[in-house]
Amino acid sequence: MNAVIEAIIGRRSVRAYRPDPVPASNLEEIVKAGLYAPSARNAQAWHISVIRDGEKIASLGAELKAAIIRCGVERYLSLARSPDYRMGFGAPVFMIVSADPGVSVCPEQDSALVLGNMFLAAHSLGVASCWVNQLCPVADDPAFRWRLDSLGVPASHKVYGAAAFGYAVDPRPAAAPRREGTVSWIG
């Protein structure tokens, strides 16, 4: 198995992080990998906000909880009400990926590929990651949106994903078994 395929199979979502910072050079490589994702019609209509200030991550997390409750986002209500909920799992880096739906014909897919590339690049550098989806359903709530504006999310963009990056507390967990019957080999 070559190194790329090994990285794809070895990457796991991590939900407990040490506070140690990720070197800037690593973050630059991770972001570069994101920016080289394919995009529909090569629109590259995305934006990545990289937040490294722990206080900014914590206030974003507190405002996110309030927004989920205010907007009544059913699927995340119990999470937001839990005193244990930490948006970024204590990771030192939090990234928000947005895209302009007026420019890309597939902004959601483009953004997912940016995140996927960044997860793999991070993994190859020993940096763990986890997608954090809770921002997506509340990102257009005016009482929350101002915060995203302050973090560089362009006004014409929608948020399609976010993620925590940092060093895992625990060794990598094993992958869940793959579901059966998800591939048809024809011919």
Ligand X SMILES: Cc1cc2nc3c(=O)[nH]c(=O)nc-3n(C[C@H](O)[C@H](O)[C@H](O)COP(=O)(O)O)c2cc1C
Q: If binding is defined by CB under 6 A, does position 123 make contact with ligand X?
A: no
Q: If binding is defined by CB under 6 A, does position 130 make contact with ligand X?
A: yes
Name which position in 78, 82, 133, 150 contacts ligand X (CB under 6 A): 133
Q: If binding is defined by CB under 6 A, does position 86 make contact with ligand X?
A: no
User: For 93, how many CA atoms within 13 A lie in the half-sphere containing its CB?
Assistant: 25
Q: How far is the CB of 187 from ligand X (least distance, A)?
A: 30
> At a CB cut-off of 8 Å and minimum separation 6, what does 27 contact?
50, 52, 93, 165
- CB neighbourhood size of 94 (10 A): 27
Of 170 and 187, which CB lies nearer to ligand X in the complex structure?
Answer: 170
Rounded Cα distance, 173 and 154, in Å: 36
Candidates 48-56, 63-71, 95-103, 130-138 — which segment interacts with ligand X by CB under 6 A?
130-138
Name which position in 22, 48, 57, 132 contacts ligand X (CB under 6 A): 132
Q: Is 152 exposed, middle or buried (0-12, 13-18, 19+ CB in 10 A)?
A: middle
Q: If binding is defined by CB under 6 A, does position 175 make contact with ligand X?
A: yes
Using DSSP, state whether 46 is helix, strand or coil. strand
Q: If binding is defined by CB under 6 A, does position 131 make contact with ligand X?
A: yes
Name which position in 10, 13, 70, 106 contacts ligand X (CB under 6 A): 13
- CB neighbourhood size of 140 (10 A): 12
* Alpha helices for the chain (secondary structure H): 3-10, 24-35, 54-71, 77-81, 107-124, 142-150
Binding mask 134-163 for ligand X (x = CB under 6 A): x-----------------------------
Candidates 9-17, 35-43, 46-54, 66-74 — which segment interacts with ligand X by CB under 6 A?
9-17
Of 33 and 130, which CB lies nearer to ligand X in the complex structure?
Answer: 130
Q: If binding is defined by CB under 6 A, does position 15 make contact with ligand X?
A: yes
Under 8 Å between Cβ of 62 and 53: no
The footprint of ligand X (CB under 6 A) covers 12-13, 15, 130-134, 175
